[in-house]
Structure 1
Amino acid sequence: MATLIVPQSVPSPAEDCEQLRKAFAGWGTNEALIIQILAHRNAAQRNLIRETYAATYGEDLLKELDKELSSDFERVVLLWTLDPAERDAFLANEATKRLTASNWVLMEIACTRSSHELFMVRKAYHARYKRSLEEDVAYHTSGDFCKLLVPLVSSFRYEGDEVNMTLAKSEAKILHEKISDKAYNHEAIIRILTTRSKAQLNATLNHYNNAFGNAINKDLKTDPKDEYLTILRATIKCLTCPEKYFEKVLRLAINRLGTDEWALTRVVATRAEVDMQRIKEAYHKRNSVPLDRAISGDTSGDYENMLLALIGHGNA
């Protein structure tokens, strides 16, 4: 359920590169032309443009964009132009750095990518940083966060629909017992959340709800100020209904006193080709305002135009 609008007949990568070259030439940059091309090409097409650009002009397109653009517009264009696995590796690495550290971003990448996608992220991370993602996450996190995040980023879940109902019932019972005992960091909870397939988890959590009369996240809300519990609830949300998780990230990014451009950019760049349609629906339902209107009210200029193009807004 992507929202990316790709034209019916796409120019050849060579033509796109020539147009981009023109956009960089002379005084000032033609930002509208950059948006017109890059915001309307899918991942495979963007990769071809990068390869063709390097082969034709002997230069790295990302470096050229970096030279020509600035601030939030630059960030969204660069993130978008990266291959999805490279992009996630970059975001994950940023999330382990001191100034930009974010357990949330690590959890989000680990829980909302397919097993194969997450495997490709680990591969891209290894290639780019000469270290493993697990090693960096383990080094930069501590305590319960480390206990949860390392197995999350290293997981390779079964992706199919097969569900074992007996297992779902017994694991719902285990989760309920541990949560009732306030043993939120118990290895059983972490093992279930970090190894089971999404279909299996859904079955377990549905049974939890039916058997114990409460959704699991309600039972995990005992202490709203506990950061570990907050990320545990977000993990469950990401694994079971990612669009609701992303709707909340966008809502918080847009509705705060100053916009959180980092979060806004990240969600739009990483979900435009995945489930942005569902996220837009969830956003509209929750906020009674269409997402494109919320973005327009909170951003401006080329940055606004690029975001609107990526979420499939007709005029952008």
Structure 2
Amino acid sequence: MATLKVPPNSPAPSEDSEQLRKAFQGWGTNEALIISILAHRNAVQRKLIREAYNVAYGEDLLKDLDKELSSDFERVVLLWTLDPAERDAFLANEATKKLTFSHWVLLEIATTRSSIDLLKAKQAYQSRFKKSIEEDVAYYTSGDIRKLLVPLVSTYRYEGEEVSMTLAKSEAKLLHEKIAKKAYNDEELIRILSTRSRAQLAATLNHYKDEFGNAINKDLKTDPKDEYLKLLRAAIKCLTFPEKYFAKVLRLAINKLGTDEWALTRVVATRAEVDLQRVGEEYQRRNSIPLDRAIANDTSGDYEKFLLALAGHDN
């Protein structure tokens, strides 16, 4: 469920690109014009606008936006304007860099994208960075975290709804045995999480709870500080209830003493065309405040306006 509001009769891409060019000219940048266009166009439209801009002015719209804008507003506009596959490739690459390293971003991309979207992100990664996402994840991680993340980014899951209950029962039992032995990094456990379809996993984990009395993540909370276990629990949440995972990321991003703008920007930009409405509902349920109000309380200026527009609340 997307939150993005696209006008029913959007102007032609050539018209939008012309308006954006005007926004860059004269004294100072016209940020309001940029927001009124880019924050109300879907991925296909944004791609066409970039192509029209390049044809008309011989320049890359992203580079011009980069020159004209700054700080958090610049980051959210650039991330949003990128094609979703390019955006994931960019975020994944950034997540393997020393200063911006993040297991969480890599995990999100590997577990909350459809198989086809993950494949497109991997193709975009190869095209842009001349290497594979798998080799970078393998190189920049180690130990149990590498053991979990590499299969997750390498997978191409079945996306259908067909489920085998026999398999669900046997794999629930297998998971329970491994967890009872504290064999959290066992190859079989990782194989189930990294290869089974979401529907099959949901059936397995439901059976696990019915048969053994606890949700699997409760049984994996033996050491709250263990980084690998945190990642394992997050992977399960991303594969079964991504909206719960993202609502928690937003709560941590917004409810700190200072806002984690990178996390806030990433979640809003990557989920606005996917499930941000559901994420917002989950956020309100858990935090007793609508997501748009939480964003408005914690951000300001053009950055706030752009985020709220993506969240469908720009009035």
> Corresponding residue for 2:165?
165
> Corresponding residue for 2:211?
211
SS at match of 1:88: helix
Post-superposition offset of 1:257? 1.1
SS at match of 1:211: helix
Matched, 1:301 2:301: yes
In 2, Cα distance between the equivalents of 1:225 and 1:41?
A: 42
SS at match of 2:222: coil
> Corresponding residue for 2:233?
233
Deviations 1:28-48 (A, max 9, x none): 000000000000000000000
In 2, Cα distance between the equivalents of 1:300 and 1:283?
A: 20
> Corresponding residue for 2:5?
5
User: TM-score, normalization: structure 2?
Assistant: 1.00
SS at match of 1:163: coil
SS at match of 1:8: coil
In 1, Cα distance between the equivalents of 2:27 and 2:222?
A: 58
> Corresponding residue for 1:68?
68
Unaligned runs of 5+ in 2: none
Letter in 1 for 2:161: D
Note the aligned Cα RMSD (angstroms).
Answer: 0.4
Deviations 1:146-196 (A, max 9, x none): 000001001000000000110100000010000000000000110000000
Aligned-residue sequence identity (percent) comes to 77
Instruction: State whether residues 305 and 314 of structure 2, in contact with CA within 8 Å, keep that contact through their aligned partners in structure 1.
Output: no
In 1, Cα distance between the equivalents of 2:27 and 2:148?
A: 51
> Corresponding residue for 2:82?
82
Deviations 1:5-56 (A, max 9, x none): 0001000011101110110001100000000000000000000000000000
User: TM-score, normalization: structure 1?
Assistant: 0.99
Instruction: State whether residues 157 and 195 of structure 2, in contact with CA within 8 Å, keep that contact through their aligned partners in structure 1.
Output: yes
In 1, Cα distance between the equivalents of 2:288 and 2:314?
A: 20
In 1, Cα distance between the equivalents of 2:309 and 2:23?
A: 18
In 2, Cα distance between the equivalents of 1:182 and 1:81?
A: 44
Matched, 1:189 2:194: no
Q: How does 1:67-146 map to 2 (within 5 A)?
A: 67-146=67-146
* TM superposition outliers: structure 1 runs of 4+ over 4 Å: none
> Corresponding residue for 1:153?
153
> Corresponding residue for 2:57?
57
Post-superposition offset of 1:314? 4.3
In 1, Cα distance between the equivalents of 2:148 and 2:56?
A: 46
User: Aligned residue pairs: how many?
Assistant: 315
SS at match of 1:151: helix
Q: How does 1:268-287 map to 2 (within 5 A)?
A: 268-287=268-287
In 2, Cα distance between the equivalents of 1:153 and 1:124?
A: 14
Deviations 1:243-281 (A, max 9, x none): 000000000000011100000000000000000110010
> Corresponding residue for 2:22?
22
Matched, 1:260 2:260: yes
> Corresponding residue for 1:43?
43
In 2, Cα distance between the equivalents of 1:17 and 1:83?
A: 16
Post-superposition offset of 1:78? 0.1
In 1, Cα distance between the equivalents of 2:42 and 2:252?
A: 28
Letter in 1 for 2:306: M
In 2, Cα distance between the equivalents of 1:86 and 1:16?
A: 21
